[in-house]
Amino acid sequence: MAEEVLFNIAGDIIKKLGSGVLQQIGLWWGVNDELEKLKSTLTTIQAVLLDAEEKSALNNQVKLWLGKLKEVVYDADDLLDDFSTEALRRQVMGGNKVSKEVCLFFSPSNRIVYGYKVGHKIKAIRERLDAIAKGRQDYPLDLLERFREAPLLSRGRDQTISYVGEEEVIGREDDRKAIVDLLLHSTTEDNVSVFPIVGMGGLGKTTLAQYVYNDEKVKTHFDLKLGSWILVTTRSEMVAKITGTLPHYPLEGLALDKSWSLFKKIVFKGEEPKSPNVKPIGEQIIKKCGGVPLAIKTIASILYFKETEGEWLRFLQDDLSNIAQNENGILPTLKLSYDHLSPHLKYCFAYCALFPKNYEIDVKTLIHQWIAHGFIELSNKSACIEDSGIEYFMDLCWRSFFQNVKRDGFGNIQSCTMHDLMHDLATLVAGKEISIMNSKEKSVDERVRHLKLDFRLDSSDIIPVVLSIPKKLRSFILPHQEFYDHDAIRIFSNFKQLRVCGMQDCRMTEVSNSIESLKHLRYLDVSKNSEIKALQILLQTYRICKC
């Protein structure tokens, strides 16, 4: 994702290089020495990455240095994945052991030849890293201590978490009464009246509109009266003037006492803190949130895990000291909550920039894609990875990264959306690595690793579009297309690093054999392709409903 996640990616690779499984594989193919050298080089570079990430915001040379480093780190990750996949492939091969060894010895993929090839690839990557490491001598980089990341809720302070549900609105009772009163006593004769609610992002305009809609007085009144009312929420007074048939209602930030009520609901389960010194610090913290409920909730989710006065004071003086809340200033406050996430939760959240704004996300699909990319870290070997994925989702949901969660009749999570400001944050932290391509774009940035096509391709467009896309894609989502089977072959054969491929409702009749060359592919969505008869490939996850 963005440069700041590079530290975590490098850390994951170092962890893989130190694993017993990879060391055994390295011993089998005679490349352990090269793997150890690669680990040493990466460890040296990782030590100064946090400082480099901070300085890259002001120093373009450092930013370029990080960009070069990121490309090599991703290549190293791909190579290790290829390495592990090849080992797994050999484990599951059938046949007599002796005859298999003889066959493999004379094949291009025998262990001596393969080990020789892999050894050269590892060495090439290490030499690229060494060259980049020498380049950092031009920039004085220091060792920095990173944020103390908040644990997952299920592994955190306790198991009784206080959620503020979307149906539970805190601090907006006066606004609700005022709007209801305006609606009930309006003398307008229009058959359809439009009433705008105007305010900055994160104030809860949509939540308030729903709160008004569910008011019993409103329901009773408009059941008895001909004519309709439309509540419009917007940040722009100009939009309100154009669309509204009545003067707009200006929504302000919460007062300090209301802000504190919302804050303590999350941090202290609605009670006052036990220490009398904590509340004054807490009030100073929430003043920085400017009465914006979304900011208050995200900051509260950080403070929930800080138990001492000293931790609260350091958060106020260090983390919040340079943030002033205003119309454009809420994003830095929201980013603080992101900064305190664990590395894997950061991956999961940033990946959501792949979905358009206001998109209803299928949570099961999202979790399977997280799994395919290796974003989910199991708490123990016996844990179910899908259950861990749900834990990750609920954690992000509790921190207000997701909203509007829908469940089925059995209580299972089905879908969710993201607040548009949270989507802005996901886009910010994802940087150039995630892109949604529209029909006006002629090419894609070479740094893109996750891509979604947001338009329908003509068959004549397939080749030029595919050729314009970087070959190192890890995710490619292109739903609702109209492909011939040979079009799919072109796609599968061009992107060898794919982990996730979504070809939903693409009029396909079969899945090409060329997909077998995608060693890294773990998730394939070919749902709503009703002509597909069978799939004969082994993957981690298929999605083939309505086929």
pLDDT: which is higher, 403 or 142: 403
What whole-number percentage of the chain has pLDDT above 70?
78
**Of 137-151, 189-203, 218-232, 294-308, minimum mean pLDDT range:** 137-151
Higher pLDDT: 270 or 87? It is 270
Q: What is the pLDDT of residue 5?
A: 67
Which of the pair, 408 or 512, is modelled with greater confidence? 408
Please state which of the ranges 104-108, 143-147, 292-296, 479-483 shows the lowest mean pLDDT.
104-108
Mean per-residue pLDDT, 428-444: 86
Distance between CA atoms of residues 525 and 60, nearest Å: 40
Confidence of residue 238 (pLDDT cuts 50, 70, 90): very high
Provide mean pLDDT across the span 235-243.
91
Q: What is the pLDDT of residue 529?
A: 73
Of the pLDDT bands very low, low, confident and very high (cuts 50, 70, 90), residue 534 is: low
CB 45 within 8 A of CB 76: no
pLDDT score for 176:
92
Do 133 and 44 touch, CB atoms closer than 8 A? Answer: yes
pTM of the shown model: 0.84
Residue 88 has pLDDT above 70, yes or no: no
Query: pLDDT value at position 87?
Result: 66
pLDDT at 160: 44
Of the two residues 362 and 329, the one the predictor is more confident about is 362
Q: How far, CA to CA in Å, does 44 sit from each of 7, 41, 49, 63?
A: 12, 5, 9, 18
Q: What is the pLDDT of residue 27?
A: 77
Q: State the pLDDT at residue 186.
A: 78
Confidence grade of residue 296 (pLDDT, cut at 50, 70, 90)? very high
In the 8-state DSSP scheme, what is residue 438?
A: -
CB neighbour list of residue 277: distance below 8 Å, 6 or more residues apart:
309
H helix intervals, 320-442:
330-339, 343-351, 363-372, 385-398, 420-430
pLDDT at position 16? 82
Note whether 508 and 490 are within 8 A (CB). Answer: no
**What is the rounded distance in angstroms from the CA atom of residue 495 to the CA atom of residue 476?**
9
**Mean pLDDT, the chain, whole residue set:** 81
- Measured at the CA of 406, the angle between CA 353 and CA 289, to 5 degrees, comes to 60
Which residues contact residue 5 at a Cβ distance below 8 angstroms, ignoring those fewer than 6 apart? 343, 346, 347, 350, 429
Which residue bears the tokens 């390495």? 83
